[in-house]
Amino acid sequence: MYSLILNRFILPWSDKILGLSVQKELELWRKVQRLSKDQLNDIQNENLKDLLNHCSKHVPYYIALAKKVNYNPESHPLIELKKFPLLDKRLIKANLPDRIKDRSTRTYFVDHTSGSSGIRGEFHMDKPAYSKTLAIQLLWWEWAGYRLGDRVLQTGITPKRGVIKGLKDILLRVRYISAYQISSDRMSNILSKIRGTNFYFFIGFGSSLFAYAKFAREKGIHNIRFKSVISWGDKMFSHYRKCIEEQFHTTVFDCYGSCEGMMIAAECEHHNYHIMSPHVFIEILDKEGRDVSPGEMGEIVVTRLDNFHMPLVRYRIGDLAVRADPNKKCVCGRHLPLLERIIGRDTDLVYTPKGKTLVVHFFTGIFEHIKEIQQFQVVQHTQDEIEIRYIPSSSFNSLCLNDIKKEIWNKANEEFRLRFSKVSSIAPSPSGKPQIVESKLAFRND
């Protein structure tokens, strides 16, 4: 009954009040996912052409680039796309607030992009782009069996939800829990409230979901069942998936996107990663910037096709993936193209002396608000000591280090040894971006 009310009345009215179009976009995507391969290709090419034309006329950063690369709007968009150089977070930061945005439209939502690179940045969406992002997210939840109005337990790094996210949580019956304090007491309290139930979907960062499942297994808590578990944000390792599925008597559905508003690919009911091709154009490139062959690994470069407010063309998100055979079909019946495998990288967990688990997003959620630090890395040498390596920004003041220490202790609800080390550079991982968490402890996958 609530699902019916939500679909017919609540969601349309919330869209109207907030000036969004989530329901309209969701209904559209429910149809788009079932289009033929040729239809999807045509839509993607048309969307790419529209985006490049818009960039070359309305966004200062791309206006200059279009002239430099001799952009031709009459040519095939795939040919013209390859003329543009790769974009990274440093270039975005250097061209904010105005040069990389269409100044004729208004920002509705701002998100931070420090997630997996350690370099603080931000990303802007207008109302149409934000609506599309939410709609695709809901579509992915539907692939995992979710229906609007089902109960959700979500763990994440934005406990201060604000008006928009807070309203979304209420309407969608989301119980949001902070990923900052994954302690025994907190996990025990959360899990105790849902023991014996089987009507929740559990959603959040892969490492955070694994921490809950591992805790439940260690404490012998076996009477918790989730309808499905939906992961995003960091890599869903095979041992994460096995532990979660066995402990919570459920199935994991992994999603792959970025906090820049790019909903890249997600697992369908047959656990193939489908690329949202009308929404993003994916390139998988070798070290020389050439497209890799099917079955080969390369760096993922993404162009979002439907955010005209702050377009990102050929954006390096820093992950590795394996290109699938373009002729490969999924038995789910969707013709959206596939990613063979998402490599990502191992964002190790950090363990405190009292045995608490700190995921990589625990630290990024703190450092994204510290303007005095340009880049950071967390290194765990022993369970009793954590080293934080940092590159200071031009506004650096040593007093901020004590504030960071207090913030970490406060969010972890535990004091432990923290050692700060000023460095001039942080070595990148094979994907080309720094490894935020590096654990020197023996790998703990049990």
- What residue spans define the domains of the chain? 350-439
Number of neighbours of residue 333 by Cβ within 10 angstroms:
10
Contact 304, 279 (CB under 8 A): yes
pLDDT tens readout for residues 62-101: 999 999 999 999 999 999 999 999 999 889 989 988 899 9
Mean pLDDT of the 340-361 span:
76
Q: Which CATH number fits domain 350-439: 2.120.10.30, 2.60.320.10, 2.60.40.10, 3.30.300.30?
A: 3.30.300.30
Mean pLDDT of the 381-401 span:
92
Contact 376, 390 (CB under 8 A): yes
- The predicted pLDDT at position 178 comes to 75
Helices 11-18 and 22-32, packing angle to 10 deg: 120
**Considering the chain, what percentage of its residues have pLDDT values greater than 70?**
92
pLDDT surpasses 80 at 120: no
Q: Is 348 helix (H, G, I), strand (E, B) or coil?
A: coil
Question: Using CA atoms, how far apart are residues 279 and 256, in angstroms rounded to an integer?
Answer: 13
97: preceding bond cis by omega (within 30 degrees): yes
Contact 138, 174 (CB under 8 A): no
**Considering the chain, what percentage of its residues have pLDDT values greater than 90?**
58
Mean pLDDT of the 45-66 span:
98
pLDDT tens readout for residues 142-197: 999 999 889 999 887 776 667 777 777 888 888 888 776 677 888 888 898 888 88
pLDDT tens readout for residues 215-236: 899 889 889 999 999 998 877 8
- The predicted pLDDT at position 234 comes to 78
Question: Using CA atoms, how far apart are residues 410 and 404, in angstroms rounded to an integer?
Answer: 10
Quote the distance between the C-alpha of residue 155 and its chain's center: 13
Picking from 224, 261, 264, 258, the residue whose alpha carbon sits closest to that of residue 244 is: 224
- The predicted pLDDT at position 432 comes to 43
pLDDT surpasses 70 at 116: no
Mean pLDDT of the 303-323 span:
93
Helices 11-18 and 162-171, packing angle to 10 deg: 170
At 285, the amino acid letter reads: L
Comparing 178-182, 249-253, 372-376, 401-405, which segment has the lowest mean pLDDT?
A: 178-182
Mean pLDDT of the 14-34 span:
94
Higher pLDDT: 161 or 348? It is 161
Mean pLDDT of the 365-375 span:
86
Higher pLDDT: 54 or 165? It is 54
Q: Which two tokens stand for residue 80?
A: 């013209």
Mean pLDDT of the 200-210 span:
90
Mean pLDDT of the 393-405 span:
93
Question: Using CA atoms, how far apart are residues 310 and 123, in angstroms rounded to an integer?
Answer: 8
Contact 307, 105 (CB under 8 A): no
- The predicted pLDDT at position 275 comes to 98
At 254, the amino acid letter reads: D
pLDDT tens readout for residues 128-141: 999 999 999 999 99
Question: Using CA atoms, how far apart are residues 252 and 269, in angstroms rounded to an integer?
Answer: 10
The 8-class DSSP code of residue 5 comes to: H
Mean pLDDT of the 412-437 span:
79
Quote the distance between the C-alpha of residue 135 and its chain's center: 15
Strand segments, DSSP code E, in 170-216 are: 174-178, 200-205
Q: Please state whether beta strands 385-392 and 417-422 pair in parallel, antiparallel, or not at all (unpaired).
A: parallel
Q: Please state whether beta strands 437-439 and 373-382 pair in parallel, antiparallel, or not at all (unpaired).
A: parallel
pLDDT band at 444 (very low <50, low <70, confident <90, very high): very low
pLDDT surpasses 70 at 259: yes
pLDDT surpasses 90 at 336: yes
DSSP structure string for 219-255:
TT-----EEEEEEESS---HHHHHHHHHHHTS-EEEE
Comparing 164-178, 199-213, 304-318, which segment has the lowest mean pLDDT?
A: 164-178
- The predicted pLDDT at position 357 comes to 79
pLDDT band at 390 (very low <50, low <70, confident <90, very high): very high
Question: Using CA atoms, how far apart are residues 50 and 47, in angstroms rounded to an integer?
Answer: 5
- The predicted pLDDT at position 180 comes to 64
- The predicted pLDDT at position 119 comes to 62
Higher pLDDT: 35 or 434? It is 35
If you search the block for the tokens 């959620």, which residue do you land on?
365
Number of neighbours of residue 375 by Cβ within 10 angstroms:
20
Picking from 267, 300, 303, the residue whose alpha carbon sits closest to that of residue 285 is: 300
- The predicted pLDDT at position 446 comes to 42
Q: Is 315 helix (H, G, I), strand (E, B) or coil?
A: strand
pLDDT surpasses 50 at 346: no
- The predicted pLDDT at position 442 comes to 53
- The predicted pLDDT at position 345 comes to 58
Higher pLDDT: 277 or 9? It is 277
Comparing 38-47, 261-270, 357-366, which segment has the lowest mean pLDDT?
A: 357-366
Number of neighbours of residue 421 by Cβ within 10 angstroms:
10
- The predicted pLDDT at position 428 comes to 64
- The predicted pLDDT at position 384 comes to 87
Question: Using CA atoms, how far apart are residues 97 and 93, in angstroms rounded to an integer?
Answer: 8
